[in-house]
Chain A
């Protein structure tokens, strides 16, 4: 490898060709503040617009300061990161940003998790030096998922990189120019009128509160305090590996038992696990796959658990709506069962039941409002909280999460297998489906349930699993740009997969738009993923069809998987949507 000599603040070091000044500085423990920069390493997500002008450093023989995040080291380069000139340049950039920023930090949804706020603190800025005109735009409150506040946009373009380069949705881009420039949809349309999938990745990377989730914590508190309501809660698989971060616990700490305990403390009438519904999903989805294979149905079949992906497909591939599985997502299936089977069992009026979901996802908020995913006039799921909102709810209720003693989920809809836990990581849904399909097709017991070839962080993965006398070809994609490639192959007749799993977010739900902010640290996503596989390993039952409560549900209520009642309650259909 070509090595280059570089001197940073008087220290000599050698770095490989292609290293940025920022990376080289890190190697010799020199910290350069950054703001717009984002690099999610092996996920291939890089925002290198060099637009914030915060990471500026002085380079010998260069007439102006250079952005260290994007300028690469050249042979013999002499860099100063701590000169008065570099510090002044950096400081002015932050002061200028603050001069056009609403300084409502105390009541801002990003208070204490805002990168601009941290930077101002790090640089010791104590006054807004440049008073003057500020941007004055209306907030976009049009969607169920996210809120766009252009007045807090600092034009870092991270959201644009996610929306265009990673998710290939092309909703967000810079509009207007000069001082009035901000990021938004073309013609500043309301988000709800665009092809936005509400994946929330723009929110996940926004350094300020220009993009945040719709907060429904108050709604949950109201329901919990309404005596006429029977409030049940479900928690998605990926939450248990991430919620601890909001309470100072190590990333990747499993908190399943604490979650159950916290729900009980909050006063929920039923404390349940979306994992149960994930097992149910596998029963339906694996049945549908076996049905399609055995009856020469449409192949490949695509998973449909991810609502952002479903909406993406409706907008971008409206001619291929017969490809995804007709299964509803686990969140919606849970709601459907809660308001029918559970209501019946508990002798409750379904209208008196409030279903609250805790999801790692912002698209789940919009999904809950899809009219076709309701039972009669009542939604299957009433309120969806993100992981972050759940943490806020706990804090507001004064619950010290980290010290809670482990507890169990309630029966009826609380049991889960290892197969359902791994739904939260890319490749997990398909691995769970294979475990069940294998035993159903071959009639044999699957001894080694771990299909490691289906795991990993590469954007597109493929594997062939031999089930009986059939080689099942499996495709996996996470991030919608990768999904698009697989979809285009299917459209062009170049795809020979039997089944494909797609998740919109990097790493799957562990990297969801509603998860604790990762601030660009991909190691956090890997630790969350490892935690989910660890929980799977520790489970006595690791195949969805072995879930006793699921077996009972079919016996007592649903009949058989992919049967008539399932079709009515647990399956859905898709509609073509415009591309805007």
Chain B
């Protein structure tokens, strides 16, 4: 695959097995790569309960973030009373910088369709919905082509493989709300309502779309299903760690040499991903932290880089698997500012339903803004910590409950940075502009006027061959003088 400039040998492709290798617009390409073979096996040789059991035995867990055992979810829906059941694919990938699902949807749409028919059979659903964000036009186009081809070939529709099993699906486009990736909000949105979470219980497997038993699975989860059917649960069981089986796709982003998708077996360490596959930090800078789990996750420091990653280990070190976003930060990153960045995202994406998330994320954001502006107090640090804990404990859905994670984890690992901002009014990473005060070292300045010429606000006074002075109140901390000075005379905080 083009966008993964990585060492292939460290990777193990299950979900991305066909991406980049086949023509996504041609069903025969997919079939040539054993496509729809698993579906044939399921419909002609297996009972629905056997399929759910097989997936359960494989140890496959939800790849969208929650990590709930997929086979168990399928069993719940299968056993739920009622004849009318639904299967929904969550393709509302919204974490900033994450595009694992998009890669599958665009590169291998049939693997999703095949898995959904299998899932429909295993859960007793005859109708499926792919809830996909409208910001993925190419994925939508390719999925639609794939659906048409699958219908034509009889893989969707009535009496598939002559088994008497009917299944069809349609695309529902999301309107760009991050919270719709949360399954109850997603269901509301599919129903045509405002995308807002509802309380659980009842869980969707009991009462979901239109009040009917519904299974919601993520794209990457589905993509792992056909290989499990074909290779058997033992094969999948054999990959990964004690509690987390198989592989996981991560989207490497941030301060890293090889930006892109990687698929690795569960249990691979962060160090392997970042330094071996990702090629390390650009420009010889030092690694500072990595954020996993998107805006709902936490930061992981150097100390935990050798943790073999799975659902549990990431949780234990204060972060989470999430959908697979991985943002690498070098030592020029201010951790207070990073927490503010993620909070800005979650408070902007909050649906506004519950008090904790609607008002709580705004208040946390405001405190962080105060701190990064150099106006923070000791009480702000106490309040921020209290509030983060309270929001985590009281918010209605996953978005709100995890929104404080970036704050809590940065406060935990980088407390000294917060204290530096508050007590010393200093941002050591040099990224909080309000705390940057530039000055000129009179010992080193030779009066070359280079800084004076590049200053966009003309706030440097001085004449040729005389020491220059920066008028701090007019300085916008653009760093231009620092870069222009050839004598290291500009002092950056």
B24-64 vs A, Cβ < 8 Å mask (1 yes, 0 no): 00000000000000000000000000000000000000000
The interface residues of chain B, by DSSP majority, are classed as helix
A181 touches B394 (CB 8 A): no
A178 touches B383 (CB 8 A): no
Q: Most B CB atoms within 10 A — which of A72, A132, A133?
A: A132
Give A89 to B356 CA distance when docked, in angstroms.
Answer: 9
A92 touches B177 (CB 8 A): no
Say if the beta carbon of B199 comes within 8 Å of chain A. yes
Say if the beta carbon of A154 comes within 8 Å of chain B. yes
B358 touches A181 (CB 8 A): yes
A97 touches B355 (CB 8 A): yes
A132 touches B363 (CB 8 A): yes
Give A65 to B354 CA distance when docked, in angstroms.
Answer: 14
B137: chain A residues within 8 A (beta carbon): none
B201 touches A72 (CB 8 A): yes
Looking at the complex, which of B221-229, B305-313, B385-393 is the stretch in contact with chain A? Answer: B385-393
B355 touches A179 (CB 8 A): no
B202, closest chain A residue (CB):
A72
Give A70 to B201 CA distance when docked, in angstroms.
Answer: 9
B391: chain A residues within 8 A (beta carbon): 92
Q: Which of A51, A65, A181 contacts B393 (CB 8 A)?
A: A65
Residues of B163-201 whose CB lies within 8 A of A: 177, 194, 196, 199, 201
Give A435 to B83 CA distance when docked, in angstroms.
Answer: 51
A49: chain B residues within 8 A (beta carbon): 353
Say if the beta carbon of B77 comes within 8 Å of chain A. no
Give A326 to B413 CA distance when docked, in angstroms.
Answer: 75
Q: How far is the CB of B356 from chain A (nearest CB, A)?
A: 5
A64 touches B394 (CB 8 A): yes
Looking at the complex, which of B242-250, B286-294, B344-352, B471-479 is the stretch in contact with chain A? Answer: B344-352
A93 touches B355 (CB 8 A): yes
Q: How far is the CB of A436 from chain B (nearest CB, A)?
A: 46
Known: A56-B394, A89-B393. A96 touches B353 (CB 8 A): no
Say if the beta carbon of B429 comes within 8 Å of chain A. no
Say if the beta carbon of B376 comes within 8 Å of chain A. no
A173: chain B residues within 8 A (beta carbon): 194
Known: A50-B396, A174-B196. A179 touches B347 (CB 8 A): yes
B6: chain A residues within 8 A (beta carbon): none
B355 touches A130 (CB 8 A): no
Say if the beta carbon of B362 comes within 8 Å of chain A. yes
Say if the beta carbon of A148 comes within 8 Å of chain B. no
Say if the beta carbon of A67 comes within 8 Å of chain B. yes
A52 touches B355 (CB 8 A): yes
A89 touches B359 (CB 8 A): no
Known: A72-B201, A97-B359. A180 touches B352 (CB 8 A): yes
Q: Most B CB atoms within 10 A — which of A56, A100, A177?
A: A177
A72, closest chain B residue (CB):
B201
B401: chain A residues within 8 A (beta carbon): 64
A65: chain B residues within 8 A (beta carbon): 393-394
Say if the beta carbon of B375 comes within 8 Å of chain A. no
B363 touches A96 (CB 8 A): yes
B360: chain A residues within 8 A (beta carbon): 92, 96
B392 touches A178 (CB 8 A): no
Give A56 to B352 CA distance when docked, in angstroms.
Answer: 18
A154 touches B355 (CB 8 A): yes
Q: Which of B349, B352, B356, B362 contacts A132 (CB 8 A)?
A: B362
- Contact-size category for A: 35 or more
A174: chain B residues within 8 A (beta carbon): 194, 196, 352-353
A130 touches B363 (CB 8 A): yes
B330-350 vs A, Cβ < 8 Å mask (1 yes, 0 no): 000000000000000001111
Say if the beta carbon of B219 comes within 8 Å of chain A. no
Residues of A36-58 whose CB lies within 8 A of B: 48-54, 56
A178 touches B350 (CB 8 A): yes
Q: How far is the CB of A52 from chain B (nearest CB, A)?
A: 6
Q: How far is the CB of B435 from chain A (nearest CB, A)?
A: 21
Give A155 to B194 CA distance when docked, in angstroms.
Answer: 14
A88 touches B348 (CB 8 A): no
B393 touches A133 (CB 8 A): no
Give A67 to B197 CA distance when docked, in angstroms.
Answer: 14
Say if the beta carbon of A99 comes within 8 Å of chain B. yes
Query: How many residues of B are in contact with the other chain, CB < 8 A?
Result: 33
B109-135 vs A, Cβ < 8 Å mask (1 yes, 0 no): 000000000000000000000000000
Residues of A127-152 whose CB lies within 8 A of B: 129-130, 132-133
A133 touches B362 (CB 8 A): yes
Give A72 to B202 CA distance when docked, in angstroms.
Answer: 10
Known: A89-B394, A93-B394. A53 touches B354 (CB 8 A): yes
Say if the beta carbon of A85 comes within 8 Å of chain B. yes
Say if the beta carbon of B395 comes within 8 Å of chain A. yes
A67 touches B352 (CB 8 A): no
Say if the beta carbon of B419 comes within 8 Å of chain A. no
Q: How far is the CB of A214 from chain B (nearest CB, A)?
A: 28
Give A224 to B349 CA distance when docked, in angstroms.
Answer: 54
Q: Most A CB atoms within 10 A — which of B196, B353, B366?
A: B353
B393: chain A residues within 8 A (beta carbon): 56, 64-65, 85, 89
Q: How far is the CB of B380 from chain A (nearest CB, A)?
A: 11
A130: chain B residues within 8 A (beta carbon): 359, 363, 366, 383, 387
Q: Most A CB atoms within 10 A — which of B355, B387, B393?
A: B355
Give A67 to B347 CA distance when docked, in angstroms.
Answer: 22
B355: chain A residues within 8 A (beta carbon): 51-54, 93, 96-97, 154-155
Q: Most B CB atoms within 10 A — which of A96, A129, A154?
A: A96
Give A67 to B394 CA distance when docked, in angstroms.
Answer: 8
Known: A99-B359, A132-B366, A133-B362. A177 touches B352 (CB 8 A): yes
A70 touches B199 (CB 8 A): yes
Q: How far is the CB of B215 from chain A (nearest CB, A)?
A: 23
Give A177 to B346 CA distance when docked, in angstroms.
Answer: 12
B350: chain A residues within 8 A (beta carbon): 177-179
Q: How far is the CB of B280 from chain A (nearest CB, A)?
A: 36
Say if the beta carbon of A489 comes within 8 Å of chain B. no
B356 touches A181 (CB 8 A): no
Residues of A172-197 whose CB lies within 8 A of B: 173-174, 176-181
Say if the beta carbon of A165 comes within 8 Å of chain B. no
Q: How far is the CB of A298 from chain B (nearest CB, A)?
A: 36
A132: chain B residues within 8 A (beta carbon): 362-363, 366
A85-108 vs B, Cβ < 8 Å mask (1 yes, 0 no): 100110011001101100000000
Q: How far is the CB of A455 from chain B (nearest CB, A)?
A: 34
B396 touches A51 (CB 8 A): yes
B352 touches A155 (CB 8 A): yes
Known: A178-B358, A179-B352. A92 touches B199 (CB 8 A): no
Q: Most A CB atoms within 10 A — which of B349, B351, B386, B390?
A: B390
A178 touches B390 (CB 8 A): no
A64: chain B residues within 8 A (beta carbon): 392-395, 401
A174, closest chain B residue (CB):
B194
Residues of A488-521 whose CB lies within 8 A of B: none
Q: How far is the CB of A72 from chain B (nearest CB, A)?
A: 7
A179, closest chain B residue (CB):
B362
Say if the beta carbon of A71 comes within 8 Å of chain B. yes
B348: chain A residues within 8 A (beta carbon): 178
B390 touches A88 (CB 8 A): yes
Known: A64-B401, A92-B387. A176 touches B394 (CB 8 A): no
A67: chain B residues within 8 A (beta carbon): 199, 396
Give A174 to B194 CA distance when docked, in angstroms.
Answer: 8
Q: Which of B201, B358, B361, B394 contacts A155 (CB 8 A)?
A: B358
A133 touches B366 (CB 8 A): yes
Beyond A51-B354, A130-B359, 4 extra complex contacts between A and B, CB < 8 Å: A85-B393, A155-B352, A155-B358, A179-B350
For the complex of A and B, the 7 pairs showing the least CB-CB separation, nearest first, are A181-B352, A92-B390, A96-B359, A178-B350, A132-B366, A130-B363, A179-B362
Give 19 A-B contacts (CB < 8 Å), ordered by A residue.
A50-B354, A51-B354, A51-B396, A52-B354, A53-B354, A54-B355, A56-B393, A56-B394, A65-B393, A67-B396, A71-B199, A92-B360, A92-B391, A99-B363, A154-B355, A155-B353, A179-B361, A179-B362, A181-B353
